[in-house]
Amino acid sequence: MRSLLYLFFSALAGLVAPAQAAVPLVPKPPQVEARAYLLQDYHSGRILAAKNADKRMEPASLTKMMTAYVVEQELRLGNIRLDDQVRVSEKAWRMPGSRMFIEVGSRVTVEELLKGVIIQSGNDASVALAEHVAGSEEAFVSLMNSYAQALGMTGTHFVNATGLPHKDHYTTARDLAILAAATIREFPEHYALNSQKEYTYNGIRQFNRNKLLWQDPSVDGIKTGHTESAGYCLVASAKRGDMRLISVVLGAKNENKRASESLKLLTYGFRFFETHKLYAAGEPLTDVRIWKGAKERLSLGLAEDLWVTVPRGHYEKLKAQMRLPTQIIAPVNQGQILGSVDVYLAKEEGEPWAKRDLVALEAVPEGSLWQVISDEVRLWFE
């Protein structure tokens, strides 16, 4: 993998090939038979294909992605444990739709219920976990909406933990991709449950409804959903090499279509695009002169990893440009924004292909009185 410095020096030395089209031609995304869909690169966040990505849609059992996310947050915070014994209420036991088949009054561990939610899509397991975490499903839903807001899921509102139809229970393809990425990023160990093909509880063997787990070995999740009004839905993710894609298909007409249309999107993304990590968070990209400080040089870098997704075969046509202030005066706080890295594809004009803030990698306090006066004089002559 070539470093971003290579891109800087190539541009400065004039070693880059003659100007070409800023956006290379790639085939149009495939026609997808669904009410809404989205294909996104996990690392870079670049949208590769979309239709009605921000249209309110019924999530059906895709709701359980947030149910599991809240439970995993509670586990991380130490508010619950995997070996907690959860007493199954009559409400949980009576839940219609897909079920884990837990018995009323029985005690089931959080770990078993989490598998029942993720693998078996159990409505009964979802309500049992909601009641254990928050005392009631209604209180748990408040947590779901709070986490949705925190993640930036601006087109989402939940009224239950299962996905049963309700006029005020909705989401969007874009928001589901946000949730999928957060689940993969924050809970990799529990995310592995999404690739488990079957789970047996109470002597009843049930299979994961995500058919892509059998059709494509690179697919490792995430969740299916279906109601008569929502149609057939699937949020899928696949990883090939260092590249991971997330697809969202909402409102397909049958179970086979939601799988085939999702695979169509994933195949398109992997075939015609590639993703590269240009620089890691905290790694110095440059060091600059800092005036009136306790030291004269300051390292600048990125607060987060910089990934780019480009049409396949066009990686070496990337050009990176640092934009810095003319003067940097102490004091400076660690993490303070002091410019940007703009990455262009072929031409250094128009909108950057990717852009990230340059931040101070360390704090530099104001220097001594002598240093301040000395630099003031130097700046006068500068």
223-273 pLDDT per residue, tens = 999 999 999 999 999 999 999 999 999 999 999 999 999 999 999 999 999
* 88 and 109, same domain (yes or no): yes
String of DSSP letters for 138-159? HHHHHHHHHHHHHHT-TT-B-S
Sheet containing strand 36-41, strands side by side: 47-51, 36-41, 243-252, 231-240, 219-227
* 168 and 203, same domain (yes or no): yes
Reply yes or no on whether the pLDDT at 375 is more than 90.
no
Query: Can you read off the two tokens belonging to residue 53?
Result: 């990505």
* 123 and 239, same domain (yes or no): yes
The three-state secondary structure class of 347 is coil
How many beta carbons lie within 10 A of that of residue 197, not counting itself? Answer: 10
The pLDDT assigned to 24 comes to 53
* 146 and 225, same domain (yes or no): yes
In a domain, 28, yes or no: no
pTM equals 0.89
Reply yes or no on whether the pLDDT at 20 is more than 50.
no
Q: Which of 344, 372, 353 is nearest to 10 (CA)?
A: 344
Q: Which long-range contacts (CB under 8 A, 24 or more apart) does 105-109 make?
A: 109/82, 109/83, 109/84, 109/85
CB 225 within 8 A of CB 63: yes
In a domain, 197, yes or no: yes
Reply yes or no on whether the pLDDT at 149 is more than 70.
yes
Convert the pLDDT of each residue in 271-297 to its tens digit.
999 999 999 999 999 999 999 999 999
Instruction: Point out the domain boundary residue: 272, 301, 336.
Output: 272
CB 50 within 8 A of CB 32: no
Residue 349 pLDDT level (bands cut at 50, 70, 90):
low
String of DSSP letters for 176-187? HHHHHHHHHHH-
The pLDDT assigned to 16 comes to 34
Reply yes or no on whether the pLDDT at 331 is more than 50.
yes
In a domain, 189, yes or no: yes
Q: Across the strands, what pairs with 300? A: 286, 360
Reply yes or no on whether the pLDDT at 336 is more than 80.
yes
* 267 and 340, same domain (yes or no): no
Count of structural domains within the chain: 2
The residue from 44, 121, 237, 247 that is catalytic is: 121
* 107 and 181, same domain (yes or no): yes
In a domain, 65, yes or no: yes
Instruction: Point out the domain boundary residue: 272, 290, 314.
Output: 272
* 153 and 85, same domain (yes or no): yes
* 15 and 62, same domain (yes or no): no
Reply yes or no on whether the pLDDT at 18 is more than 60.
no
Instruction: Judge whether 229 counts as a catalytic residue.
Output: no
* 242 and 169, same domain (yes or no): yes
Give the chain's radius of gyration (CA, Å): 25
* 261 and 326, same domain (yes or no): no
The pLDDT assigned to 36 comes to 98
In a domain, 214, yes or no: yes
Distance CA 203, CA 62 (A): 26
Distances (CA, A) of 275 to 64, 85, 106: 29, 44, 48
In a domain, 30, yes or no: no
Distances (CA, A) of 57 to 21, 65, 156, 172: 37, 15, 9, 6
Instruction: Point out the domain boundary residue: 237, 272, 307.
Output: 272
The CATH number given to whatever domain includes residue 366 is 2.60.410.10
The pLDDT assigned to 105 comes to 96
Q: Which of 224, 236, 227 is nearest to 177 (CA)?
A: 236
Three-point CA angle 244, 227, 138, nearest 5°: 85
Q: Percent of the chain scored above 90 by pLDDT?
A: 86
Distance CA 53, CA 35 (A): 10
In a domain, 29, yes or no: no
Q: Which of 107, 103, 104 is nearest to 202 (CA)?
A: 103
Who's near 155: CB < 8 A, 6+ residues apart? 54, 56, 170, 171, 172, 174, 175
Strands (E), 18-163: 36-41, 47-51, 85-87, 107-109
In a domain, 31, yes or no: no
* 231 and 368, same domain (yes or no): no
Convert the pLDDT of each residue in 83-96 to its tens digit.
999 999 999 999 99
Instruction: Judge whether 61 counts as a catalytic residue.
Output: yes
Convert the pLDDT of each residue in 166-190 to its tens digit.
999 999 999 999 999 999 999 998 8
The CATH number given to whatever domain includes residue 183 is 3.40.710.10
Range of the domain at 53: 36-272
* 302 and 208, same domain (yes or no): no
